[in-house]
Amino acid sequence: MGGYVRDGAMTAKSTFVDPAIQNYVVGTIVREHPVLRELREETAHHSHARMAIGPDQGQLMKVLAHAIGARRYLEIGVFTGYSSLAMALALPPDGYVLACDVSEEYTGVARRYWHAAGVAAKIDLRIAPALETLADLRAQHAEPFDMAFIDADKANVDRYYEAALDLVRPGGFILVDNVLWSGEVLDESATDADTRALRALNAKVSRDDRVDATLVPVCDGILIALKRG
């Protein structure tokens, strides 16, 4: 989940940061490509608009990608394609995005904007359950990725994290979205499968000696894990 727009303006999504502060960050710091803005505005009218990341999160991911010279990016969960488009634009001309999703409908929107931005050739969309695609990549000993972003069903988040750790190079990033889950991870009475899975992953990563990690309260919380060498 992320930010969304209403009537062309950014409407803050995070419940953890003052909306005025969020809008200031977006309006002052974020450099949003015109096609990204168009996609964000169209997605704002979608019934599941809150599944999209916000422009501030897209900017953070771009900075991280540039910091490690990322060329290969793995995305688990595409929706209408804001994050994949932001990353395809951030990668160098020979960059490669492997995007996993199960919805032809949602990714149909993404494809339109990938083409409009001139980055469609960088993006390899796999329509299949992500765990199947990830298993295939591991079996094929795919070239390591520099960065992975996990924003799919939450009950399987630990399995996605473990697969990403196998597929990302040492010194690369694994990012996990929605790890604050609108504050539900703090609520001991919240015992649904999604909340329990996110709570367990946060605790696991905090003591995982395979990575150095932090949790940033951008949008709905993003877990950033740097794979150790």
Look up the CATH number of the domain holding residue 170.
Answer: 3.40.50.150
Structural domains counted in the chain:
1
For 205, other C-beta atoms within 10 Å of its C-beta total 22
Q: Residues near 35 by Cβ (< 8 Å), separated by ≥ 6?
A: 85, 113, 116, 117
Supply the pLDDT for residue 77.
98
Q: Is 32 exposed, middle or buried (0-12, 13-18, 19+ CB in 10 A)?
A: middle
What percentage of the chain has pLDDT greater than the value 90? 86
pTM of the model: 0.93
Domain of residue 60 covers 4-227
Which tops the pLDDT comparison, 159 or 47?
159
Instruction: Work out the pLDDT band at 12, boundaries 50, 70, 90.
Output: low
- Asked which of 24-28, 107-111, 205-209 is least confident by mean pLDDT, the reply is 24-28
Q: Average pLDDT, stretch 142-161?
A: 98
Residue 16 above 80 pLDDT?
Answer: no
H/E element, 25:
helix 19-28
Q: Can you say whether the dihedral through the CA atoms of 64, 208, 129, 193 is positive or negative?
A: negative
Instruction: Work out the pLDDT band at 7, boundaries 50, 70, 90.
Output: very low
